Structure 1
Amino acid sequence: MSILSLVTETAPHRLSQMEALDTARALIAGNFSDFERLSAVYANAGVAFRQLAMPVDWYRSPRSFPERTAAYLDVALDMFVAAAQKAIAQADLRPQQVDMIVTVSSTGIATPSLEARAMARLPFRNDVHRVPIFGLGCAGGATGLGLASRLARATPGSTVLLVTVELCSLALRTDNADKADIISTALFGDGAAACILRAGEDGFVQITGSAEKTWSDTLDIMGWRAEPTGLGVVLNRAIPAFARREMRQAMTEMLAPQGLGIDDVDQFICHPGGAKVVDALEGALSLNQGALVNERTILRDHGNMSAPTLFFVLDRYRQAGLPPLSVLNALGPGFTASSLTLRCAA
């Protein structure tokens, strides 16, 4: 399966990490006695800037679930349309030539889903197949791309548009905040990405394999908790240690059915869940310290945008020139590792 185009889209409002700390201190510190002790996470998260769906003042007022949903529907749709338009144009196509739309988003609820709403603004055919996916979290970039490639393979000649939009900032909780909320305000941002896939055509890279591994009894590591005001983050501080301990064996198992081993891979392209997660992945995969420089750059400039982040990283590797064999990988709720094998077009 070939990736014909890849674009990224940032949210409209930029926030520095210092501004994020000052805002979180003003909103959370009064209700959370350990805030100052934990505030070192802002300096250690590896994030300098991130982009937000709404102006920072919007987050200073308590928001109901309907208000958060309204913001999600408004901004996520704008970002969906912008990313889709650019991906279609980059592939030298028209919206009417798209046969299937895969939408990945876990940070808001939209029924009808985003691609259905986008049909009022983009001239997709009325018989286009829609595949909305919810619940993949940070693994959504890799898992969604793997699913889109399998759908393209199942219908040779069809054009598949994959769009992922995540507005993590809308989950900001100021009442009853806990450690996970502090970490999330230091780490997460908002973003979108889109790509076009098609079987049997040359793109800038080919997807030759995909795999997943879900560990049992790990539901409490990452996810959402339904609360009266919206979605509350579940984020276990043990994720870096888990990645360092488990990812080498998981990657070995995911590559083996493809006749590959870790040493065969020219470049691992990783979802940068956080600075400590990037360090853990370098250790687990026996990479040189600092090898995942593009991952750290994206984390620094945009924060962890959940599912779209992996596409931001892939785009940087594409601009620098992809090696013959790369493996995308990401971790997400489940707790699940997801990977894709990429071979560079000749």
Structure 2
Amino acid sequence: MKSYLCAVGTANPDHKIPQMQASGFMADVLQFDAAEARKLAALYRVSGIENRYTVLEDYTRGNGSFEFFPNTADLEPFPQVAPRMQVYREQALPLSLKAIQNCLESNESLDLQQVTHLVTVSCTGMYAPGLDIEIIESLSLPTTIERTSVNFMGCYAAFNALKLANTICRSQPEANVLVVCTELCSLHFQKSKEHDHLVSNALFGDGAAAAWVSGKAPKGVSLAFEAFHCELMSSGKKDMAWHIGNFGFEMTLSAYIPDLIKKGIRQLSVNLLSRLNLDLPDIKWFAIHPGGRKILEAIEQELGIGRAENRFSYAVLRDYGNMSSATVLFVIKEVMKSLGPENDGERVLSFAFGPGLTMESMLLKINYV
């Protein structure tokens, strides 16, 4: 039995913030001197990001007109976890619904009433009864839908959700699985001059993505799941981590991550492709999670691919930044938009990375009906 990724929808909050404006905001609230502000601007300028989106309008305002952060020079008292989670609860549902609607619009054959399973994914907020139940209630979906939540796994979590959806559809041919990844990363701004926090603040934005997985291929383009492969690089355990602190969720993102990924990406690819007796030259399309510009460049160097082959990841990084688990689905959507009947049978190789250091890979076969 086969299963297919039939459609992907994406959504972002209303507040768009240019990258260099974000740099100015951070320099102001961190009370940087002129030299520190110049260094921060250089970090933001070379990130490969031009714009990001946020649910917090404060990032587009000057101090004195904040609604979420305190209107004090040092942002004290700095918001603790509870008010951040309150905003998550208010904003996660409408953004998720927007992504689901976009998914439905991408393929008119999809019918929400045919959904049998719902998988929600997030590492930036949690509550119960949760987002999964609110989605069902808001869309008047059958209350018999089977629900699973994938939480706190970071940027690679969409792969675990897709693996689950694939397993369900292969064992239950009539199943239709809706996967919804919703991340509000901007809620977790850390008021810290530590390099890891400065990098995290420079990369992450807010977004949601919805994916429809079915045992039946729809008309038009879809992607058949062929293989998954995961590897754990314990040597990078301390270089990418995600902890709940008193003032939000704290991301550790060291400068060594691109080198770690570079060391493992070729073997990860070989181990995946060898299952189908394929080699890298057999791959025409790439959907790589843009964890950062240096990560994309490291993968290109190691696999011998060019920026043109990796263009979809650069475009998503440029326009949205890193939106944790939702990001790779943004990339896959861009790939799918470029496919036609002439691409039937070609392959898409996809990667994502996260705490652990976890390296996920997935091989998809283009199907055009």
TM-score, scaled relative to structure 1: 0.93
Let me know the Cα RMSD of the aligned residues. Answer: 2.1
Partner of 1:13: 15
How far did 1:87 drift? Answer: 2.5
- Deviates most, 282-291 or 205-214: 282-291
How far did 1:254 drift? Answer: 2.3
Partner of 1:86: 102
Letter in 2 for 1:160: V
Partner of 1:3: 5
Runs of 4+ in 1 over 4 A off after TM superposition: 33-36
Aligned partner of residue 270 in structure 2, secondary structure: helix
Please give the alpha-carbon distance, in whole angstroms, between the structure 1 residues aligned to 2:108 and 2:240: 35
Aligned partner of residue 210 in structure 1, secondary structure: strand
Picking from 147, 157, 164, the partner of 1:130 is 147
Q: Is the 8 A contact 1:330 1:338 kept in 2?
A: yes
Partner of 1:338: 360
- The alignment covers a number of residue pairs equal to 345
Q: Is the 8 A contact 1:139 1:307 kept in 2?
A: yes
Partner of 1:45: 47
How far did 1:96 drift? Answer: 2.5
Letter in 2 for 1:199: G
Partner of 1:168: 185
1:50-107 alpha-carbon deviations (Å, 9 max, x no partner): 0101102446433121110011111111111222233245353433321000111111
Partner of 1:157: 174
Please give the alpha-carbon distance, in whole angstroms, between the structure 2 residues aligned to 1:326 and 1:149: 16
The residue correspondences of 1:259-274 to structure 2 (distance < 5 A) are 259-274=277-292
Picking from 55, 66, 72, the partner of 2:82 is 66
Q: Rg: which structure is higher?
A: 2
Please give the alpha-carbon distance, in whole angstroms, between the structure 1 residues aligned to 2:358 and 2:251: 17
The residue correspondences of 1:322-333 to structure 2 (distance < 5 A) are 323=343, 324-333=346-355
Please give the alpha-carbon distance, in whole angstroms, between the structure 2 residues aligned to 1:121 and 1:109: 18
- Deviates most, 213-222 or 245-254: 213-222
Letter in 1 for 2:81: F
Please give the alpha-carbon distance, in whole angstroms, between the structure 2 residues aligned to 1:111 and 1:222: 27
Picking from 293, 297, 312, the partner of 1:275 is 293
Change (3 A) 1:255 1:112: farther
1:118-155 alpha-carbon deviations (Å, 9 max, x no partner): 22211111110001001221112333222221222121
- Deviates most, 107-116 or 278-287: 107-116
Work out the percentage of aligned pairs sharing the same amino acid.
27
Please give the alpha-carbon distance, in whole angstroms, between the structure 2 residues aligned to 1:91 and 1:144: 23
Partner of 1:238: 256
TM-score, scaled relative to structure 2: 0.88
Letter in 2 for 1:284: E
Q: Is the 8 A contact 1:143 1:339 kept in 2?
A: no
Say whether 1:292 aligns with 2:310.
yes
Picking from 118, 130, 136, the partner of 1:113 is 130
Aligned partner of residue 343 in structure 1, secondary structure: strand
